Amino acid sequence: MKKRSLIAGFFALVFVVGLLMAGGGPALAKQLEIAVLVPNGVDPYFTAKRYGYETECEKLGVKMLFYDAGGYANVNKQIGQLEDLMQRGIDGIILGATSAEGTVPVVNKVISKGIPLVIDNLDSRTKKPVLRIMKNGVLVGQLRAIYIIEQLKGKGTVLVLPGPSAVSLCQEEHKGFVDYAKHFPGIKVITEWTPSSPDAGMKTVEGLLQAHPDLKAVACFSPPLTVGSVKAVQASGAKKGEIIIVGQMLDAGMEAYINKDWLQATAMCDHIGMAREAVRMVVKEIKGELKPPLFHQIDHYLITKETLDKFDRSGSTYPKEWRK
Amino acid sequence: MIRKIQKIEWDRYGLPLAFVAMIIVFTLINPAFFSTRNMIQTTRQGAILFLIVSGQTFALLARGIDLSQGSVMSLVSVATISSIYVFGAYLGSIVGVLFGALCGFISGILIGYLGIPPILTTLGMLFVALGAELVYTGGVTLTNLTEIDEVRIFWFGGGMIGPVPVPVVFAVIIGLLMYYLLKCTSFGRKVYFIGTNADASHMVGIRVKRVIVLVYVLSALLASLGAFFLTARLSMGFPHLGEAWLVLAIGGAVLGGTSVFGGKGGIWQALLGSMVIVFLDNGLIVSGVSSFAREAIIGGVIILACLASVIRSKS
């Protein structure tokens, strides 16, 4: 009797599980899983973007895995992360590449495997069709140049501190700046490719202020470099605004520098909105609603002390409570 | 004349002479190099590197190595700012630095008492410290100190005592203490002895394990102090602050003349090595050498120093 009950119970269980599986009951539906890979997670730019990725994934009911390569130099680490994700059978990938060229073979492999992929801002120069959501690097460089040259009335020495040299966006921003500045013979541009860390920025600007005491402006391509530059200018004994500094993005520290007139302007875009859009794009590609190739370019603007309290922050800043 | 030159102890005076020659060459290229302001800011950078190199020197003298210094620095940077949020500038700074010393204590126990090779232990600690601070911060740079805390902590990194930068004053005091510790105490003699022959040290009754623990505590503590002065100057906790410093720490120690095979070197060598690296880097910047070429030149100098260390150990 006991044995018969056990057999009956077993078949009943199999029946129920079978029904649920066959019906594709909502409780057992596979949740989409996407991976976001960034080159340098500690950069405030990527911290803010992570907020965008996380909130959009939550909204769409998608599970997000976040991978940080830990620095632009760690191309191999990012390649390893992408290979692991292919093995895992991830549903989709959003990639900010550590290197425009170095990641191409592995990105080609991802595309060949049919894994939906969105390249978010930091390009991997694959020739295969892919979805891209990009900043306009040349325009960002030009924005900084326009502001600085206007402030200097077309005359003076300007230090340009582009971030990691292998990053396509930095190369484009640098090109945008230099090409625009060429139209002004009174402007002398000094370029110093610098690792994206505050101490490297500080050390470089301190040294170059000695070599070029006539320095009138510094254009920084990342938030850590901006902070380092401000510290170096403060230590040089220059008065506020005597050396114009134009930065990249905005965090609490940089906002304080703008308010105290140590930082004159910063180049912005709605990078959190951009991250949200990247999530929507990859989900659409997974569902077959969007097919590569597609190139989505976002807008850019410059923030100064005058516009600091007036611009719409929803696409570029995250709430203070987040990550506490 | 040639005989006089041959009589010079190049092993002892070679680097100081090269240092002086380097200063003269860079000053000739650009007189701004020798300006008071540049000397002040370069010695400020040098003081921070000197502390970190001194720590590495202890590990190298005991025939070890501390690969965790860079990550410990990053950990201390975020731990210091986080602690300041809670305890205020002074107590918070002490708590932050103690986090670094704790890492060294753990490494020391693993190396000294459990016998795990220093290279593996400190490599492991490199990842543990980095992982811990990244998990804690979520990769976020820590800013937003209160104005009073920012002013207080900035003094340690960016302030002046008379014409001398604060980190330089602290580095001189700490350097003298470390020099005394190495040259004038039994602990210092034991470190040299262990570095020369660890097995014999056991036989003559030296408590090797205890000395090893203290060596790694000092290595981490000095790196933490370097990180503290750097963090103070930036007034922010940067989760990758120490990334570039490990190579400079090992390079500075070896360049100064501390042997990678243990038992030879000291604080004076750490001072020389760190000053050469910092002034070389600054001189190249002031002379208009690009960052790419600068890295290659500094790397080349460190390789040459390692080569010299190997040749010295064979002779």
Q: Is A319 on the interface with B (CB under 8 A)?
A: no
Nearest CB to A203 within list B45, B134, B141: B45
Q: Which range is most confident: A26-30, A195-199, B147-151?
A: B147-151
Which residue does chain A place closest to B236, by CA atoms?
A253
Residues contacting residue B15 through CB under 8 Å, at least 6 positions apart: B255, B256, B257, B272, B273, B276
pLDDT digits (tens, 9 = 90+) for A63-84: 999 999 988 889 999 999 999 9
What pLDDT sits at residue A15? 56
d(CA B251, CA B243): 14
| Whether A200 contacts chain B with CB within 8 A | yes
Residues 217-246 of A with CB under 8 A from B: 223-224, 227-228, 231, 234-237
Closest CA–CA distance from residue A18 to any residue of chain B (Å): 41
Amino acid sitting at position A27: A
B140 found inside a domain: yes
Residue B20 lies in a domain: no
Binning pLDDT at 50, 70 and 90, where does residue A324 land? Answer: very low
A83-to-A77, A92, A278 alpha-carbon distances in Å: 10, 13, 21
> Min CA distance, A320 vs chain B (Å)?
11
ipTM score of complex? 0.82
What is the location of CATH 3.40.50.2300 in chain A?
A: 31-134+271-299, 137-248
Partner residues linked to A64 by β-bridges: A34
Interface test with A, best of B291, B292, B295 (most A CBs within 10 A): B291
Q: Which of A197, A234, A237 sits opposite B243 (nearest CB)?
A: A197
Check B244 against A195: CB less than 8 A apart.
yes
**What's the confidence (pLDDT) of residue B211?**
96
Give the pLDDT score at A242. 95
- In 3-state terms, what secondary structure has residue A192? coil
Whether residue B159 lies inside any domain: the answer is yes
Contact between B244 and A199 using a beta-carbon 8 Å cutoff = yes
Has residue B254 been placed in a domain? no
The predicted model gives B189-204 an average pLDDT of: 89
E strand intervals along chain A? 33-38, 63-68, 92-95, 117-120, 131-134, 156-161, 187-191, 215-220, 244-248, 265-269, 294-297, 300-304
Ramachandran category for residue A89: left, alpha or beta (phi over 0 → left; psi -120 to 50 → alpha) = left
A225: nearest CA partner in chain B: B234
| A1-15, A24-38, A42-56, B104-118: which is most confident | B104-118
Average pLDDT, chain A: 88
Mean local confidence (pLDDT), A123-148: 94
Q: In chain A, which residues have their Cβ closer than 8 Å to the Cβ of B233? A: 202, 231
In a domain, B110, yes or no: yes
The pLDDT value recorded for residue A48 is 87
Please state the pTM of the whole predicted model.
0.81
B88 found inside a domain: yes
Residues spanned by the domain of B226: 40-243
Whether B139 and A50 lie within 8 Å, measured CB to CB: yes
Determine whether domain A31-134+271-299 maps to CATH 3.40.50.2300: yes
pLDDT > 60? residue B232: yes
The model's confidence at residue A24, banded by pLDDT at 50, 70 and 90, is: very low
Torsion of CA B261, B265, B271, B275, to 10 degrees: -50
Q: Which of B78, B86, B141 is best to mutate for the A interface (most A CBs within 10 A)?
A: B141
Q: Dihedral, CA atoms, A280, A285, A286, A288, nearest 10 degrees?
A: 130
User: Which residues lie below 8 Å from residue B24, measured CB to CB, with a gap of 6+?
Assistant: none
Q: Please indicate, yes or no, if residue B176 is contained in any of the structural domains.
A: yes
Interface test with B, best of A42, A68, A190, A205 (most B CBs within 10 A): A42
B-contacting residues in A 118-157 (Cβ below 8 Å): none
- Residue B141 is nearest to which of A44, A195, A235, comparing CB atoms? A44
- Residue B24's pLDDT band, with cuts at 50, 70 and 90, is very high
**Which of A108, A92, A35 lies closest to A69 in space, CA to CA?**
A35
pLDDT bracket for residue A20 (50, 70, 90): very low
pLDDT score of A160: 96
Banded model confidence at residue B31, pLDDT cuts 50, 70, 90: very high
- The per-residue pLDDT for A10 is 58
Enumerate the residues of chain A whose CB falls inside 8 A of the CB of residue B139: 41-42, 46-47, 50, 68
More confident residue, A104 or A25: A104
Residue of A nearest to B147 (CA): A256
pLDDT band at A19 (very low <50, low <70, confident <90, very high): very low
- Taking residues B213-242, report their average pLDDT: 95
Strands (E), B146-263: 160-161, 164-165
- Using a 10 angstrom Cβ sphere, with 0-12 exposed, 13-18 middle and 19 or more buried, the burial of residue A227 is buried
Instruction: Domain A137-248: give its CATH architecture.
Output: 3-Layer(aba) Sandwich (3.40)
Cross-chain residue pair A71–B240, CB shorter than 8 Å: yes
Strand partners, A220: A161
Q: Enumerate the residues of chain B whose CB falls inside 8 A of the CB of residue A53.
A: none
- Given this model, what pLDDT does residue A180 score? 96
CB within 8 Å: A231 and B158: yes
Residue A215 has pLDDT above 60, yes or no: yes
pLDDT, mean over chain B? 92
Q: What percent of chain B has pLDDT over 70?
A: 96
CB contact under 8 A, B158 and A252: no
Q: Do B234 and A202 touch (CB under 8 A)?
A: yes
pLDDT tens digits for range A239-277: 999 999 999 888 878 899 999 999 999 999 899 999 999
Return the pLDDT at B200: 87
Segment B249-298, tens digit of pLDDT? 999 999 999 998 899 999 999 999 999 999 999 999 999 898 889 989 99
For residues B97 and B75, what is the distance between their CA atoms, to the nearest angstrom? Answer: 9
pLDDT for the residue numbered B307: 83
Across the range A207-224, mean pLDDT stands at 93
Residue A102 or residue A16, greater confidence: A102
Q: Give the mutation candidate from B142, B160, B230, B243 for the A interface (greatest A CB count, under 10 A).
A: B243
Q: Do B287 and A211 touch (CB under 8 A)?
A: yes
The pLDDT of residue B202 is 81
CA A181 to chain B, closest CA, distance in angstroms equals 20
Chain A contact set for B281 (CB, 8 A) = 203, 207
Edge-first strand listing for the sheet containing A215-220: A187-191, A156-161, A215-220, A244-248, A265-269, A300-304
Contacts of A237 in chain B (CB under 8 A): 37
Q: Say what the pLDDT of residue A8 is.
A: 59
Cβ–Cβ contact A184 with B under 8 A? no
The per-residue pLDDT for B304 is 86
Residue A66 phi/psi, 5-degree rounding, is -115, 125
Q: Is residue A195 within 8 angstroms of chain B, CB to CB?
A: yes
Indicate whether A143 pLDDT > 70: yes
In a domain, B311, yes or no: no
Min Cα–Cα distance to chain B from A20, Å: 39
Least CB–CB distance from B239: residue in A42, A192, A210: A42
Helix (H) / strand (E) element for B73: namely: helix B69-87
Q: Which residue of A has its CA nearest to B38?
A: A210
What is the percent of chain A with per-residue pLDDT over 90, rounded to a whole number? 67
pLDDT value at A137 more than 80? yes
User: How many structural domains compose chain B?
Assistant: 1
- Given a contact cutoff of 8 angstroms between Cβ atoms, the answer to whether A121 and A169 are in contact is yes
pLDDT at residue number B12: 73
Q: Helix or strand or coil: residue A33? A: strand
Check residue A27 and give its pLDDT: 44
Nearest CA-CA partner of B278 in B28, B96, B75, B44: B44
CB contact under 8 A, B285 and A211: yes
Contacts of A227 in chain B (CB under 8 A): 234, 236
Collect all residues of chain A within an 8 Å Cβ-Cβ radius of residue B238. Answer: 42, 197-199, 224
Contact across the interface for B234 and A231, Cβ inside 8 Å: yes
Cβ-Cβ contacts under 8 Å, B292 against chain A: 165, 193
